[in-house]
């Protein structure tokens, strides 16, 4: 785990493996960003010129290493691009700083300590740089041989320019560390192979964390699910030797006035079931529990931050496999709500487990429910691989979540729930089918889920199918593999609830 410190030392005097500075484009010129004045002085004011000679342009995502001159204790200077310089009197955007710090931490993989001399004009900037560095330093190495020569992630991040005695700066750094560590917890779960992360082992991980952080955890196993009539979760897990679970994990605060319920899709492996996925579409399906991982991490983060709000997570965990006992296309499931669902496609399983969890969460009458799921390929077709979709039964709530996502640096887009698409899910056999029109499939899934939300409860649905698992080269603070998408948005929403804004 990467350590984080706020250092009062100067950039020239701090001993570290590398000094990280920011550079930006100002017209046709390359300029050194605030925070690196001492480093520029060590280069006799020619740091920008030297970097230009090496081909640096200041573009976002760019990183240029060069040996440090005499006068600096660190042997290496790493310049990261911040893009265009802000207008006079304005600061660099927090997401720009977050990505730059993440880029630096990735480049410095294997280093013991790095000093970050990036612009930290206020507490928001401190939080962004700290968060980016800690997220960028992430690596999933649990299944790799740990020899003595094996490189490890950056071990320590020292933020220069931040003030350790300033209450706002200190609080920003502590919050950033808690949130980043919980995002990395979600990433670890998402990256864990499905032969090791089953519904039972996922539930056990929640119980362990619950004891550590004072959370109340309740686990319904297959017998309790059958007794309770959770037909959706049981139907999805029927084909697997690893039986399903429904986990309730709750953080409560004695001064809380608002309760936020979070529901996460937790398909620990999705083969598609009898509607089997073709080759090329099932190799990364260990990530189909990303929603549950995000919900779990958010509840732990709320506890670590001591938020004055009640935050309850519902993790609907199952493994979707084909076998002689698996649910077949054409089967009808009786859900926890009492509604019947005709299963036309067993690969539309996420909405089935979520439906049961949404109904159960509604029974507690929270102030709002948000479900999170890698739900549809259709949402990826609509929004790409870096943006999640937001649907809701309340336009103002949908807008609030969109604003929060933008505030914390997560790409999202509000999506509609067109009433005319509901008819496509009419079934001649059951109350509703789990499939509807092919066009607008992501919206159809949202309409299906809405059927299982308690009357009068504000609800939103986040389809994180695109950004939950990154298959390309790492960028910024985003690694290859599980990303922890939506955790920052959910934590900020919980903070809003604590502030009475839900």
DSSP per-residue codes, 419-446: GGGGGGG--SSSSEES---STTHHHHHH
CB neighbourhood size of 53 (10 A): 10
The one catalytic residue in 99, 258, 351, 496 is 351
**Chain CA centroid to CA 159, Å:** 24
CA-wise closest residue to 388 among 368, 399, 367, 373: 373
Contact between 109 and 54 (Cβ < 8 Å): no
Q: At 209, is the secondary structure helix, strand, or coil?
A: helix
CA-wise closest residue to 297 among 499, 491, 502, 495: 491
Distance separating alpha carbons of residues 10 and 371, to the nearest angstrom: 46
Contact between 390 and 415 (Cβ < 8 Å): yes
DSSP structure class, residue 285: G
Active site residue 328: no
Distance separating alpha carbons of residues 448 and 466, to the nearest angstrom: 20
**441-450 and 350-362 are packed helices; what angle lies between their axes, rounded to 10 degrees?**
30
Distance separating alpha carbons of residues 159 and 173, to the nearest angstrom: 9
Distance separating alpha carbons of residues 497 and 293, to the nearest angstrom: 21
CA-wise closest residue to 354 among 270, 430, 485, 448: 448
**Radius of gyration for the alpha carbons in the chain, expressed in angstroms and rounded:** 24
Active site residue 351: yes
The one catalytic residue in 152, 277, 339, 386 is 277
**123-136 and 94-107 are packed helices; what angle lies between their axes, rounded to 10 degrees?**
30
Give the catalytic positions in this structure: 277, 351
């Amino acid at each position: 785990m990467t350590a984080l410190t706020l250092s009062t030392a100067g950039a020239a005097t701090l001993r570290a493996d590398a000094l990280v500075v920011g550079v930006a484009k100002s017209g046709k010129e390359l300029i050194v960003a605030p925070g690196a004045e001492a480093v520029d002085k060590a280069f006799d004011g020619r740091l920008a010129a030297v970097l230009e000679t090496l081909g640096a342009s200041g573009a976002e995502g760019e990183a240029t290493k060069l040996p440090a001159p005499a006068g600096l204790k660190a042997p290496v200077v790493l310049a990261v691009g911040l893009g265009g310089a802000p207008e006079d009197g304005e600061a660099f955007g927090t997401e720009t700083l977050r990505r730059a710090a993440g880029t630096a931490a990735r480049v410095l993989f294997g280093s013991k300590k790095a000093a970050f001399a990036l612009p930290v004009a206020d507490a928001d900037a401190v939080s962004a740089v700290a968060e980016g560095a800690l997220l960028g330093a992430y690596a999933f190495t649990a299944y790799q041989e740990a020899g003595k020569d094996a490189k490890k992630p950056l071990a320590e991040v020292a933020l220069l320019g931040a003030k350790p005695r300033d209450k706002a700066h200190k609080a920003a750094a502590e919050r950033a560390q808690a949130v980043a560590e919980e995002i990395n917890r979600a990433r670890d779960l998402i990256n864990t192979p499905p032969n090791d992360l089953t519904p039972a082992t996922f539930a056990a991980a929640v119980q362990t964390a619950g004891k550590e952080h004072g959370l109340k955890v309740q686990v319904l196993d297959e017998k309790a699910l059958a007794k309770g009539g959770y037909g959706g979760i049981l139907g999805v897990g029927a084909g697997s030797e690893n039986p399903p679970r429904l986990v309730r994990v709750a953080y409560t605060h004695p001064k809380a006035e608002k309760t936020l319920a979070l529901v996460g899709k937790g398909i620990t492996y999705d083969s598609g079931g009898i509607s089997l996925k073709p080759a090329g579409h099932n190799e990364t399906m260990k990530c189909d529990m990303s929603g549950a991982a995000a919900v779990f991490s958010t509840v732990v983060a709320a506890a670590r931050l001591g938020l004055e709000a009640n935050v309850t997570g519902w993790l609907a965990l199952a493994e979707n496999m084909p076998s002689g006992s698996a649910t077949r296309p054409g089967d009808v499931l009786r859900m926890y709500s009492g509604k019947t669902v005709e299963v036309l496609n067993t690969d539309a399983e996420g909405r089935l487990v979520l439906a049961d969890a949404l109904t159960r969460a509604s029974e507690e009458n929270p102030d709002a429910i948000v479900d999170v799921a890698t739900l549809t390929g259709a949402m990826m077709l609509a929004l790409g691989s870096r943006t999640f979709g937001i649907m809701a039964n309340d336009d103002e709530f949908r807008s609030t979540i969109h604003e929060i996502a933008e505030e914390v640096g997560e790409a999202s887009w509000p999506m509609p729930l067109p009433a005319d698409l509901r008819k496509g899910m009419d079934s001649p056999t059951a109350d509703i089918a789990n499939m509807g029109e092919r066009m607008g499939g992501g919206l159809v899934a949202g309409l299906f889920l809405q059927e299982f939300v308690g009357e009068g409860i504000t609800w939103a649905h986040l389809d994180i199918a695109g950004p939950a698992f990154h298959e390309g080269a790492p960028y910024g603070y985003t690694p290859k593999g599980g990303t922890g998408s939506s955790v920052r948005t959910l934590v900020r929403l919980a903070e809003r609830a604590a502030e009475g804004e839900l």
